[in-house]
Amino acid sequence: MEPARFVIRCGVLIVLLAVNIMPGHSASAQATVDEYEKAGEWKGTFDWLARQPVPAGTQYFSGHLDLTLDEHESGTLKGTLAGSQTEKLDLTTCPSMAVSPGTVTARLTGTFAEQKVTVNMTDPTYTPPQMSPCPTGGPPGTSGAVFTFPHFDEALRSLAPVDKHNYEFDREWTVVVGRYPFTLHYTVKFRRVAIFPRADY
């Protein structure tokens, strides 16, 4: 995944994570699956927080995603993710906060085999949060979608088993990109919430 870039907007020293919005189709509701073809159902959450000190103050980025997938007899997983993204710019040059959160959606595919879960994302869409204006009247900058952040794919592909039905990923990094490093924390929790007995097939 392309590393995050930094930009300065409106003459204000605001360093932002990259905006690499990938065009794609909106993630529509998951197609109905014949119950006799399903081996199980999975649900999960993906929460993140990024904190970036800059000369004018500190920038905060955060959000929450819900993951829902159907498990097929072959171990194939198919589903969607959807959630919100927000930010706060605690800056002397342009204090601003989200007055309406942004939205993130995508389709998910993956596999479940030998107590290992791997999830991949396709067709992502992103609408940035609406921010309160700078005191000078200029528009504040907004970050790119969470799927452009470093290590996002790693979090979905490195879920570790906690027990028979629960998988998690929890890690924090200090990411150095450009002049101003930032701290990034992902927490992913994934659970097999239903199993359909093979005898029902």
Instruction: Give 27-79 pLDDT, tens digit per residue.
Output: 333 444 455 578 999 999 999 999 999 999 999 999 999 999 999 988 999 99
Structural domain contains residue 122: yes
pLDDT exceeds 60 at position 17: no
Structural domain contains residue 107: yes
Give 164's pLDDT tier (boundaries 50, 70, 90). confident
Average pLDDT, the chain: 84
pLDDT of residue 24: 37
Residue 83: strand, helix, or coil: strand
Structural domain contains residue 101: yes
Structural domain contains residue 191: yes
pLDDT exceeds 90 at position 177: no
pLDDT exceeds 60 at position 11: no
pLDDT of residue 26: 38
Distance from C-alpha of 93 to C-alpha of 12, rounded to nearest angstrom? 6
Structural domain contains residue 32: no
Q: Are 9 and 89 in contact (CB under 8 A)?
A: no
Number of alpha carbons in the 13 Å side-chain half-sphere of residue 94: 24
Number of domains in the chain: 1
Structural domain contains residue 29: no
Distance from C-alpha of 198 to C-alpha of 39, rounded to nearest angstrom? 7
Task: Look up the domain containing 152 and give its range.
Answer: 37-200
Instruction: Give 80-106 pLDDT, tens digit per residue.
Output: 999 999 999 999 999 999 999 999 999
Structural domain contains residue 10: no
Structural domain contains residue 181: yes
Q: What is the mean pLDDT of residues 151-174?
A: 95
pLDDT exceeds 60 at position 156: yes
Instruction: Give 102-141 pLDDT, tens digit per residue.
Output: 999 999 999 998 888 999 999 999 999 999 999 988 889 8
CB burial of 46-79 (b: ≥16 within 10 Å; e: otherwise) equals: bebebebebebbebebbbbbebbbbbbeeeebeb
Give 171's pLDDT tier (boundaries 50, 70, 90). very high
Q: Which of 48, 144, 130, 56 is nearest to 97 (CA)?
A: 130
**Dihedral over Cα of 26, 32, 36, 42: its sign:** positive
